[in-house]
Structure 1
Amino acid sequence: MYGPYEGQYYLAGSSSCQRVIVRITEKQLLVSGSEGGELVCCSEQPELKVQSRVGNLPREVVLPNRDMLYVEGGPELDSWLDGNSHMSVASKLEKSRAWLIGSLVFSPILLFGIFKYLVPALAITFAAYVPYSLTKVTSAHTLAALDKSILNASQLDAQRQSDLQMAFSATIEQFSDDEKFYKVLFRDSDEMGANAFALPDGTIVFTDGIVELMDGDAQLLNAVLLHEIGHVEHRHSMRMIAESLASTLIISYFFGDVSGAVELFFGVSGTVVQNQYSQKLEWQADEFALQQAPRVGLQPEDFADAMQTLADSHPGNDYLMRLFSSHPSIEERIERARAAQVKE
């Protein structure tokens, strides 16, 4: 027999407790009152539900009648409570210096592999099975939210918008089908500046800023339109949604409710990982635009000129900014477009 060990005994459904003395025999756990010695309960090891040891906290034991026992003990009590269960193995691993060092080394490698290979693969698979009806709902809600926040009604006059829609019509007709129909909208936005973006259902938004920057040049704007169509054709928006959701779930699973400092670290690192992943999608959309340009009467040079116009409006190319940018450097994109022009 081992013991005595001091413990606290809680009746099922009650927050009040009594102090008890715990002893163990080869097969039984004996709990008696701390003063009178009256036997409170007697249970065999297989009947108990034992929580794994956490540091130096008391052991938590659920008895067959659902009463709860917290007991301070030593190695003998731990060994008896855990028996040959996985909890004993887990407790040993937690105390192992080799496993601690190994986890510090291999955990970052494991997470790197998950975020670099597994998450993108899952995102691609997820995006392929999302029905178009869901992308329409997602797009409508996204546009409504943007219209209430950073987007305003376009300041372009009606005739200019009509002329641009006519210029876009040939490109739109080439890629629209019975399920997916492309359409172009115009919005004004100080926050977004000269920009264009595509929603999952084929809605493509041009800001007034990019129209003014391109001086209304139909060739250049159609080249930008082709790039945005590439995002839709490759389902990039749904892939990014899936990637973001998967990253959040994985971090929550591995780290649970972590401190603000760790949350900040993973917020920054997550941004870098996501933006590097986003850069791959931008390259893919660029490639689509370059390959499809002849189909709508454009040349790769038109896309290069559009990128050059953007580059001229954003001088400078800081390495740190490129690291945090969601787009590849404009210079690299221009070089690739001009190289595609030479091959033709």
Structure 2
Amino acid sequence: MTQPERLAAEYFDGVSARPLHVEARIDGDTLCIQPPEGDPKRVPLRRVRWPERQRHGARVAHLPDGTSLHCADAMAFDTWARHAGLGESWVVKAQQSWRWTAAGVAMLLVLCGVLYQWGLPWGARAALAFVPARVDRELGDIAMRSIRDEGLVSPTALPPGQQQRLRAAWSRAVANAGPAGVTIDLHFHKSKLGPNAFALPGGHVVLTDEMVALVEGREDVLIGVLAHEAGHVRHRHGMRMLAQTTLLGGITSIAFGDFSGLLAAAPALLGHLAYSRDFEREADGDAIALLQANGIPPAVMATMFERLRAHQRKEGMPDLPIALGSHPPDEERIARFRDAAAVR
């Protein structure tokens, strides 16, 4: 095959929309653009912004003075460039290879998985290290007021004497646990949420009347429930969740922009569910430790799970699979509590 020394192209001078038909050739380290009449235009090769090879479309080389060289015949341009010794970067070559493209996609997926699994939690912990504990309390106070204002909870119907006994039992349990004990601000409430207990940043823990009734006031079980919620407080799970959700939301906004609010929110929702399961397991570990420190068999917590499950079935509530629930499966948690022995 003879070397195509000259390339038929169109030259745009940046002033007129009408192209000038020219011939282009390479002379050493210079691009020469020869018009039909007159002297050729000479441009150092290193100052030309050469187009990347693609499957379709015209080739456009941009010159430093704002003018450009166009070639509608992409194959002719690529052949001329190759014979002229205009090499391609490895990036361009990789883009043209389905194997390199597939490998790049696979590496990107692996990187996203690593960042999702370990990067976000690490980033949240690092950011939270600079947030003082008083911020937890302020956010917890706001959340507690909001829960009350929205009517999710109402004043408790538990007798004052029972409230006092439960508070005293919890105080003794914390004292027996030693330095690992956590101080919480315990609230008793009726609730539209049914049998439940939850922790807010800063130490607010709500124990519902319905939960007390569900376990028939058993102090050993309720101590385990409160120990679990205190674990959330000690590990700052609420603040960590907020930080992780904020980071994940920022990343999805960068990735998806305003293309779809639902699409951008989906990864943040999935992240919330997965990280919640990790936090629940961590809080369960704290509950086991406190129960053991008080000589209470952690297996007593199985009572709560069994009664909660019976309550859900009675109320017609479905048992959610792990992919849709923020807690680990009941079977996993029951087995963990039953396998943990009491220690005196």
Provide TM-score, normalisation by structure 1. Answer: 0.69
Residue number in structure 1 paired with 2:276: 278
1:6-49 CA distance string (max 9 Å, x none): 577768xxxxx8343476553348699xxx9999x975454456
Aligned-partner residue type, residue 243 of structure 1: Q
Q: Which has the larger radius of gyration?
A: 2
Query: Is the 1:155–1:208 Cα contact (8 Å) retained in structure 2?
Result: no
Residue number in structure 2 paired with 1:338: 338
SS in 1 for 2:198: strand
Q: 5 Å matches for 1:129-148? A: 129-144=130-145, 146-147=147-148
Aligned-partner residue type, residue 266 of structure 2: G
Query: Is the 2:294–2:343 Cα contact (8 Å) retained in structure 1?
Result: no
- Deviation of 1:293 (Å): 1.9
Residue number in structure 1 paired with 2:226: 225
Residue number in structure 1 paired with 2:184: 182
Aligned-partner residue type, residue 225 of structure 1: L
- Deviation of 1:72 (Å): 5.3
SS in 2 for 1:91: helix
Distance 1:162 1:262, change over 3 A: closer
Q: 5 Å matches for 1:71-150? A: 71=70, 73=72, 74=74, 88-144=89-145, 146-147=147-148
Residue number in structure 1 paired with 2:310: 312
Aligned-partner residue type, residue 244 of structure 2: E
Distance 1:312 1:77, change over 3 A: same
In 2, Cα distance between equivalents of 1:275 and 1:298: 30
Residue number in structure 2 paired with 1:20: 19
1:192-219 CA distance string (max 9 Å, x none): 3322222232222334443443344443
In 1, Cα distance between equivalents of 2:261 and 2:330: 34
Aligned-partner residue type, residue 333 of structure 2: R
Distance 1:7 1:272, change over 3 A: farther
Query: Is the 1:226–1:288 Cα contact (8 Å) retained in structure 2?
Result: yes
SS in 2 for 1:293: helix
- Deviation of 1:231 (Å): 1.6
Aligned-partner residue type, residue 282 of structure 1: E
In 2, Cα distance between equivalents of 1:117 and 1:224: 28
Residue number in structure 2 paired with 1:14: none
Distance 1:62 1:217, change over 3 A: farther
Provide TM-score, normalisation by structure 2. Answer: 0.69
1:44-69 CA distance string (max 9 Å, x none): 4544567867774566777656x586
In 2, Cα distance between equivalents of 1:70 and 1:189: 73
Residue number in structure 2 paired with 1:325: 325
Unpaired runs of 5+ residues, structure 2, are none
User: 1:288 aligned to 2:286?
Assistant: yes
SS in 1 for 2:17: strand
Unpaired runs of 5+ residues, structure 1, are 12-16
Distance 1:95 1:304, change over 3 A: same
SS in 2 for 1:341: coil
Aligned-partner residue type, residue 140 of structure 2: S
Query: Is the 1:29–1:45 Cα contact (8 Å) retained in structure 2?
Result: no
Query: Is the 1:154–1:208 Cα contact (8 Å) retained in structure 2?
Result: no
- Deviation of 1:283 (Å): 1.8
Aligned-partner residue type, residue 234 of structure 2: E
Q: 5 Å matches for 1:172-251? A: 181-190=183-192, 192-250=193-251
In 1, Cα distance between equivalents of 2:317 and 2:158: 37
Distance 1:272 1:152, change over 3 A: closer
Aligned-partner residue type, residue 239 of structure 1: R
Distance 1:31 1:9, change over 3 A: farther
1:142-192 CA distance string (max 9 Å, x none): 44555555x534231485485355554445677899xx85212345543x3
SS in 1 for 2:211: helix
- Deviation of 1:138 (Å): 3.8
- Deviation of 1:3 (Å): 4.6
- Deviation of 1:220 (Å): 2.6
Query: Is the 2:273–2:324 Cα contact (8 Å) retained in structure 1?
Result: yes
- Deviation of 1:135 (Å): 2.6
Query: Is the 1:311–1:331 Cα contact (8 Å) retained in structure 2?
Result: no
Aligned-partner residue type, residue 284 of structure 2: D
Distance 1:302 1:260, change over 3 A: same
In 2, Cα distance between equivalents of 1:52 and 1:140: 58
Aligned-partner residue type, residue 308 of structure 1: E
**Cα-Cα RMSD:** 4.8
